[in-house]
Each structure stands twice: as C-alpha cells, then as structure tokens.
Amino acid sequence: MDNISHTEENYLKAIFKIAEKEEGRPVNTNAISVEMKTTAASVTDMLNRLSKKELIHYEKYKGVTLTIKGGRLATLLVRKHRLWEVFLVEKLHFSWDEVHDMAEELEHIQSEELVERLDDYLGRPKFDPHGDPIPDAEGNFTFRKQAPLADLHQGEKGIVVGVQDHSTAFLQYLDKLQLSLGAQVTVVERFDYDESMKIALNGDKEHIVSKKVSQNLFVQKQ
C-alpha cells in the first residue's frame, strides 16, 4: 500500500519542478497536465491518488503542494536523476545532450544504498553535467551565485556554470561554440539593436551570441 509507481513518481517530480518556479505557491492542475503531457482529467485522478497516499496536500480547485514525505521523495528523484547523469557523462562518456532520457529511467531504480554508493563512486559531485545542483542525502542543495550571461556588462568576465534551457538543440549549439561548463567568457561588446553580444572565450576566440543564447547560459561573475 506504500508502493509508489513510476507514474506517481513522475507526477511528484513534475509538481516539484513547477513549485520551484512558482516559489512554493500551490501548483494548479493545468500546469501539471502541460508538464506531464496529459489531460487535466487524468491529473485530477492522479491528484486524488497522491493525496490518499499523503504525498501531496490537495483541495479541489485550490491546487496542490507537496507534503514533507512527497517533497523528500521528489528531492530523492532529482538526486538520483542528476547522479546518474554524472555517471553517464563522466564514466560512460556520453555528451551532456544525450543523457536526459536515460537518467529519466534510471532515477526510478529503487535501492537507496545504490544511490549512496553511486554518489561515493562519483566523488560526491555537487553539480550535474548541466550545472544543476545535486541534493545531498539529506536533501540539501548547494546554492551558487549565478546570473544569465545576458546580465553582464561590457568588459565583465564570467565562468560558464550552467544552462537554463536543457534542450538538445541548445546543448549541441553550445558544443559547437566550445561554450562548455568551466569556460571563461568576457563580454567584448553588447549590441543594443538585437541585444546580441560579442564574447571572448577563455580570453581568445570571439563569437557573437544572440539574446536567446545569453539568456539561457548561466555564469558566475569574476
């Protein structure tokens, strides 16, 4: 009776993800149906089930929040997902745009002992291959001061630490430009016309990147 299905886990993750963006406000049915690519009716059904299992607080028409139990579970799923991504990239040499779907399956593997050993084996990484923080076994996320590249002024420097957009297209484009995590970027010039900017990579190679790119790339100012 306490078993949680993959589907239920996916709903919890979806709710967690939306709640993150919405800063804790109750998550509404429609948002979940969009995230889960399903109908609102199916979501309502599932919300009743999750509520019965005390994984969410749910009041008809009022949206949902995660219970302590639900939140812990969602965080564990995020932890597992990101650790497996590190494994796939660091050990099996996949590239950062290939690992999402596999991690989406691997995160459902049950054993907590496995997660802890995997974490050890990987050297207790604090961030995944996209720069997203990996919660520790207690569920604590490492916080890092970061800003979209778009926020830097002319002359400012930053280290690439993450991405907002996780799409294959974006990640592969970044690879082409050699804009990988750890790269140093300097804003050489900003162009008001289309809000693009010229950047220098590791003080050398120059590129012009669009507004869309600079908004989706996180840097740590230096």
Partner DNA sequence: AATATTATTTAGATTAATCTAAAAATTGTA
Partner DNA sequence: TACAATTTTTAGATTAATCTAAATAATATT
Closest CA to 183 of 159, 150, 154: 159
Report the nearest approach of a second copy to the CB of residue 206 (Å): 35
Judged by beta carbon distances under 5 to 8 A according to partner kind, the member of a second copy, DNA, none in contact with residue 46 is DNA
Strand partners, 133: 127
* Number of chain positions touching a second copy (CB under 8 A): 17
User: With respect to DNA, which residue has the nearer C-beta, 39 or 167?
Assistant: 39
Judged by beta carbon distances under 5 to 8 A according to partner kind, the member of a second copy, DNA, none in contact with residue 41 is DNA
Stretch that binds a second copy, among 37-45, 65-73, 105-113, 195-203 (CB under 8 A): 105-113
Closest CA to 179 of 156, 155, 204, 154: 204
162-188 CB burial, b ≥16 within 10 A, e <16: bbeeeeeebbebbeeeebebebbbbbe
Report the nearest approach of a second copy to the CB of residue 110 (Å): 6
Stretch that binds a second copy, among 70-78, 117-125, 162-170, 213-221 (CB under 8 A): 117-125
Site for DNA in 48-87 (CB under 7 A): 48-49, 58, 60-61, 63
Q: Binding of a second copy at residue 185 (CB under 8 A)?
A: no
Q: Binding of DNA at residue 47 (CB under 7 A)?
A: yes
Judged by beta carbon distances under 5 to 8 A according to partner kind, the member of DNA, a second copy, none in contact with residue 91 is a second copy
Residues 123 and 101: their CA atoms lie apart, in Å, by 23
CA distances (Å), 172 to each of 4, 165, 179, in order?
Answer: 35, 12, 10
- Member of 34, 92, 137, 208 binding a second copy (CB under 8 A): 92
Report the nearest approach of DNA to the CB of residue 128 (Å): 26
Evaluated on CA atoms 23, 28, 29, 30, the torsion sign reads negative
Provide the terminal-to-terminal Cα distance of the chain, rounded to the nearest Å: 52
Closest CA to 10 of 39, 41, 40, 33: 33
CA–centroid distance for 19 within its chain? 13
List residues binding DNA (CB under 7 A). 5, 7-8, 28-31, 38-49, 58, 60-61, 63
Which residues of the chain form contacts with a second copy (CB under 8 A)? 88, 91-94, 101-102, 105-106, 108-111, 114, 117-118, 121
